[in-house]
Amino acid sequence: MRGLYMLGGQPFRSKNTIKQYIRGFIAAQPLGATVADPVLTELLQKHPLWDQKSHGMERLAIGEVKVLHASTKCKTVVIERPDATVDITWSRLVDRLQYDGSLRYVDDRAENLAKIKIAARAAIQHQILKVSKEPGEHIDHIFPRTFDRLLFLFLKWWGVPIALIKIDDPIGNVIGLRFNCWDLETNWQMFHERLARLRAVPPAVNMAARVYPVNWSELP
């Protein structure tokens, strides 16, 4: 058993694991998407100037910033305000995290669960893209069949312990995480396609969508 960092109700074994999760999340989102991820939201709120930077905030969103000493841009999370778009360097916040009263002790499968979520989203991306939408709209899982709820039910039915589910990283980048087992991935895709109810909604509606509480500790 090891001490883990807790963010957004999710355990992480190390700061590097937190960074991998956030990089994978940001990479999977389109530019302009509203950010409602509890892990990233709680992390940003730890910024010492959060109150100042978020004053008048309309939403957290996926944006682009110029890479220092380069001509390229990279995707990141930004605060959108009526008067400005504010970037917060989230990686530095991870580096400054300290073990505190939120420290919990859980098993090492937590790190693999974070990877499973990224691989599961990637596996159903083609289903998300099939939903017709207007410019600026986001695709939402209709409550109570949220993404987390469906993935939880599938993994419970599949029955393989979380720590034993193998994830491939073929291109050496968290963005490319995929299930190692073709049978598992195919069954998850069919499970999601059969049960998920998807809709296109304005960003504000997606951001305010209800979250179905999932107790991941119930999984083997």
pLDDT in tens, 167-190: 887 766 556 788 988 999 999 999
Give residue-wise pLDDT tens across range 22-38: 888 888 888 888 888 88
Give residue-wise pLDDT tens across range 109-168: 677 888 899 899 999 999 998 887 888 888 888 888 999 999 999 999 998 888 888 888
Strand partners, 7: 10
Whole-number pLDDT of residue 160: 86
Domains of the chain: residue spans and CATH: 1-105 (3.10.450.40), 107-220 (no CATH)
Contact present, 218 and 153 (Cβ < 8 Å): no
Contact present, 210 and 201 (Cβ < 8 Å): no
Whole-number pLDDT of residue 193: 95
Whole-number pLDDT of residue 102: 44
Query: In terms of DSSP bridges, do strands 59-66 and 104-106 run parallel, antiparallel, or are they unpaired?
Result: unpaired
Q: Rounded to whole angstroms, how far apart are CA atoms 182 and 212?
A: 28
Q: Rounded to whole angstroms, how far apart are CA atoms 217 and 166?
A: 19
Indicate the pTM of the whole model.
0.52
Q: Rounded to whole angstroms, how far apart are CA atoms 156 and 152?
A: 6
The contacts of residue 159 (CB under 8 Å, 6+ apart) are 220
Q: Rounded to whole angstroms, how far apart are CA atoms 115 and 63?
A: 23
Give residue-wise pLDDT tens across range 33-53: 888 888 888 888 888 778 888
CA angle 128, 73, 140 (to 5 degrees): 20
Give residue-wise pLDDT tens across range 91-116: 878 877 765 444 333 445 677 888 89
Query: In terms of DSSP bridges, do strands 104-106 and 2-7 run parallel, antiparallel, or are they unpaired?
Result: antiparallel
